[in-house]
Chain A
Amino acid sequence: MGGLSVMWDNLTAFFSHGPNIVFTVLAVVIISAAVLMINFDKIVHMVLAMALAFIGLGGLYILLAAEFVAIVQILIYGGAMTILMIFGIMMTRHKNQEEEAKRPVHNVLLLIGVVALFGILFYAIQGTAFVTGAPLDPGSDNTAAIGELIFNNHVIPFELVSVLLTVAFIGAIVMAKREEE
């Protein structure tokens, strides 16, 4: 009886803090979107569910005082990635190939493995005593702060990433090009 009342006290303490409620709502949205993605039948529905998950994650980033990352997330993932996938679906579709071949043994084993993995991670997280340092000082403008950090401390990775992006899209173009007859 004592354990239950402790739990109730913890819950009420948790939900009395505003951001926690938002976190809970967003978490539910994201998880249900992800699960729906797995379980939908039509591919386009799957992609849309995924887009919802990405957007939800963006909201979560705002909650974490990472506005710039949130915007980038919504732009890139929710926008470009989703469109990219839809284009991919569009160009690789035969008529009506939505039946899933049943692989029961494979799926069951996979379920067991994934649940086990989650169990291990959960156990690891629960067992760790996290130490919170000084609260983050987000500064007045998140974007400016990030920009300063990137161009002062992390220029080289920045340049490398731009090279990588160039290489990537050239490669993608070459690969997806229709072969000369």
Chain B
Amino acid sequence: MDNILPSYLILGAILFCIGLYGALSKKNAVIVLLSIELMLNASNLNFVAFAKYGPNPALSGQIFSLFTITIAAAEAAVGVAILLALFRNKGTSDVVEMDHLKH
């Protein structure tokens, strides 16, 4: 009972790291986007956990996480739109093929 907060935080850290791994190692762009969403979720979990068990419990943590979810959704939408445009130009959704940063 005393201090379940660290458990929530560690859970958040685990999810964050798994999301990071997925974002940096997957070839399909959609999966990369999905992994980034996982990372955002992990930070949301942190907010809500601190909202309940932190030094200053308040509802503003939850409100902030609402905003985060909103932003994440908008970003995912734009991301998929970009992906569609790229797919039309390159014919592939493989991130390894997107090497325009090289030149």
Binding site for B on A (CB under 8 A): 13-14, 17, 20, 23, 27, 30-31, 34-35, 37-38, 43, 46-47, 50, 53-54, 57, 60-61, 64-66, 68-69, 72-73, 76-77, 80-81, 84-85, 87-89, 91-94, 97, 100-101, 103, 106-107, 110-111, 114-115, 117-118, 121-122, 125-126, 128, 130-136, 145-146, 149-150, 153-154, 157, 161, 164-165, 168-169, 171-176, 178-179
Contacts and interface: CB of A to CB of B under 8 A. Distances in A.
Chain B: number of interface residues, binned into ranges: 35 or more
A48 to B, nearest CB: 11
A13 B3 CA distance: 12
B30 A146 contact: no
A84 B14 CA distance: 25
Contact of A149 (B16, B63, B84, B87): B63
A114 B39 CA distance: 13
B52 A65 contact: yes
Q: SS class of chain A's interface: helix, strand, loop or mixed?
A: helix
Contact of B73 (A43, A76, A157): A76
Given A46-B31, A68-B62, 6 more contacts: A31-B14, A61-B48, A92-B83, A121-B17, A168-B77, A175-B81
B21 A43 contact: no
Contacts, number: 214
Given A64-B49, A110-B21, A176-B81, A72 B69 contact: yes
B80 interface: yes
B42 to A, nearest CB: 9
B69 A92 contact: no
Q: SS class of chain B's interface: helix, strand, loop or mixed?
A: helix
5 contacts: A30-B15, A37-B22, A89-B28, A149-B63, A176-B84
A172 B77 CA distance: 6
Contact of B58 (A106, A126, A136): A136
A111 B37 CA distance: 19
B91 to A, nearest CB: 8
A155 B57 CA distance: 21
B13 A125 contact: yes
A47 B18 CA distance: 15
Nearest to B56: A133
B13 A121 contact: yes
4 shortest interchain CB distances as A-B pairs: A168-B74, A136-B57, A172-B81, A175-B81
Given A34-B19, A54-B41, A66-B62, A92 B93 contact: yes
